[in-house]
Amino acid sequence: MLSSATAARTIAATTGRQIADGRLYLKAEHLQRTGSFKPRGPLIRLASLSEAERERGVITISAGNAAQGYAYAGRALGVPVTVVMPENAVRAKVEAVLGYGAAVLQRGSHPLEALDYMHQVAIERDLTFAHPYDDPDVIAGFGSIGLEIVDDVPDVDVVVVPIGGGGLISGIAAALGQIRPEVRVYGVEPAGADAMSRALDAGEPVPITPTSVADGLGAPQAGEWTIDLVRRYVEDVIVIDDATILGGLRFALERVKQVLEPAGAAALAATIYGRIPLREGDRVCCVLSGGNVATERLGEYLAAAAPLDIP
């Protein structure tokens, strides 16, 4: 399990006194190694490999944060990691993956195109596929966040989590469901990357073409494991537009002095814009999942943010 630095523990947002009755907390996963929560799952997944699998190495697919998570875990555990990333991946994320020592192969502009290529490479090179989110070991690693939230805020009532493929919310919700089943967990998706909402409606994964500014939530489809766990443990999945997500990013920068990527601001955005059903006196914890923002686009993001009137 990833050891938690003090900076990455849950912190109270004192600027949120007009929000959630002054009981808004932020789980600062953007301050973890690699700039997101992602190493938690890959560390568990790679630790479970057989000796032969460790020697051959693994291959995964990601637009950025999961790629960095596996690259970091591979370096920490001595496992060779190859990552397939789309050709339009954020350059800073590609460079970070390379910096952690993983091999990067870029292919296609659509995640499913890159996925087909990844499976081809896995067969050719005899590499073990390590899923970025739809894997019980990965989900269990992400579940450690739920345990930390309860440790830091024992009387938490609501936890709000962003959703891409669903691994993060599955782990957190399942963990809370076992130790604090009364806690209400809500998921947040971008309107342009609503794979989980579509999957819940259809009862199975539905391939999509993600179009949101929140590239970290742009999974091509929800997972089999994650759909089941979200259905069992999550109250509801809220869909918000990109302008609202960017409003959360701006609020975090201006009021909390924290730099988030759009994906990392989604849960906070849904909460401060009143999209999460809250009861009087609720203590609310929003998971800030990532801070790997493309700094050259930060001005653009701030300009496109939805207006928010909070004293």
For residue 197, indicate whether it is catalytic. no
245 and 105 in a single domain? The answer is: no
The CA R_g of the chain, rounded to the nearest whole Å, is: 18
Are β-strands 10-12 and 24-28 bridged in parallel, bridged antiparallel, or unpaired?
A: antiparallel
213 and 289 in a single domain? The answer is: yes
> Which domain-ending residue is among 129, 144, 170?
129
* Residue 268 is assigned to a structural domain of this protein: yes
Number of domains in the chain: 2
Summarize the confidence of residues 160-189 as an average pLDDT.
Answer: 98
246 and 101 in a single domain? The answer is: no
19 and 80 in a single domain? The answer is: no
- Cβ–Cβ < 8 Å for 28, 46: no
pLDDT band, very low/low/confident/very high, at 63 (cuts 50, 70, 90): confident
* Residue 141: pLDDT over 50: yes
> Which domain-ending residue is among 108, 129, 150?
129
Domain that holds residue 118: 40-129
Catalytic residue among 36, 38, 62, 144: 38
166 and 198 in a single domain? The answer is: yes
Convert the pLDDT of each residue in 183-199 to its tens digit: 999 999 999 999 999 99
Which pLDDT score, from 0 to 100, does residue 14 have?
Answer: 45
Which pLDDT score, from 0 to 100, does residue 109 have?
Answer: 75
CATH label of the domain that carries residue 153: 3.40.50.1100
* Residue 1: pLDDT over 70: no
pLDDT band, very low/low/confident/very high, at 311 (cuts 50, 70, 90): low
Instruction: Determine if the pTM surpasses 0.85.
Output: yes
12 and 80 in a single domain? The answer is: no
* Residue 294 is assigned to a structural domain of this protein: yes
pLDDT band, very low/low/confident/very high, at 61 (cuts 50, 70, 90): very high
Convert the pLDDT of each residue in 88-130 to its tens digit: 888 888 999 999 999 999 998 776 778 889 999 999 999 999 9
Structure tokens at 55: 């020697």
* Residue 1 is assigned to a structural domain of this protein: no
* Residue 18: pLDDT over 60: no
64 and 167 in a single domain? The answer is: no
232 and 263 in a single domain? The answer is: yes
* Residue 76 is assigned to a structural domain of this protein: yes
169 and 229 in a single domain? The answer is: yes
Which pLDDT score, from 0 to 100, does residue 238 have?
Answer: 98
* Residue 110 is assigned to a structural domain of this protein: yes
* Residue 222 is assigned to a structural domain of this protein: yes
> Which domain-ending residue is among 109, 129, 149?
129
80 and 29 in a single domain? The answer is: no
72 and 177 in a single domain? The answer is: no
For residue 289, indicate whether it is catalytic. yes
Convert the pLDDT of each residue in 208-261 to its tens digit: 999 999 999 999 999 999 999 999 999 999 999 999 999 999 999 999 999 999
Backbone phi, then psi, for 164, in 5-degree steps? Answer: -110, -90
Summarize the confidence of residues 23-52 as an average pLDDT.
Answer: 96
Which pLDDT score, from 0 to 100, does residue 111 have?
Answer: 66
* Residue 184 is assigned to a structural domain of this protein: yes
Which pLDDT score, from 0 to 100, does residue 267 have?
Answer: 98
70 and 198 in a single domain? The answer is: no
Summarize the confidence of residues 23-30 as an average pLDDT.
Answer: 94
* Residue 103 is assigned to a structural domain of this protein: yes
